Structure 1
């Protein structure tokens, strides 16, 4: 059973964004599995680097949509993105020093932040776009 299981309740209504969310969760599951199985620092670091890169790519996609749809909460949403990127970049820096051991607490943070962000801020953006397109 995966660490984070994708649920249809996480869908925000944009196929592109939903597909990217599935990919992010898949990467987090791979990171968890690598850490949990003790497959070695190199594999954990590789999974973490993939998470950082894909997160930045995903946030860039969302932020382009904020501009396209003139989303009034764009700045607040982007601030949340930056705070998360800062956190995972700190983990990346630790990995670069060979000091990375992902605690259960860290994995829970990654999981909770992602799910809460999708269910909160991202869904709010999806609703904004749907209302705008209907109105």
Structure 2
């Protein structure tokens, strides 16, 4: 049986969950100028600026001018970026929580083993003194 490509499955899941969130942000941008002008557009323009700068530097054109995205494209780009960012952040938080929980569980198990070992050693020492 071939191995399940969990990475691809995770990416598809994030994309599927991000779509409704992105759609909600886009609708929110239509209804709220504050959300659009102070959250979505700055994020979109910032991510676009970084993206263009990195790509142009990789191609050897370090001083290329970065043009701003038009408003419609920026709202779409920003909403998608924000929704995927929150999903990845949520997923990372879950992974960190599970890692810490697992580490604490192992630590408790090791403490219990050490405690049992010390108890057995103490009892052996007592038995040797009785003889």
Task: Give the TM-score normalised by the residue count of structure 1.
Answer: 0.29
Report the TM-score when normalising by structure 2: 0.30
- Give the structure, 1 or 2, with the largest relative contact order (CA under 8 Å, sep 6 or more): 1
As a proportion of its length, which structure holds more helix? 2
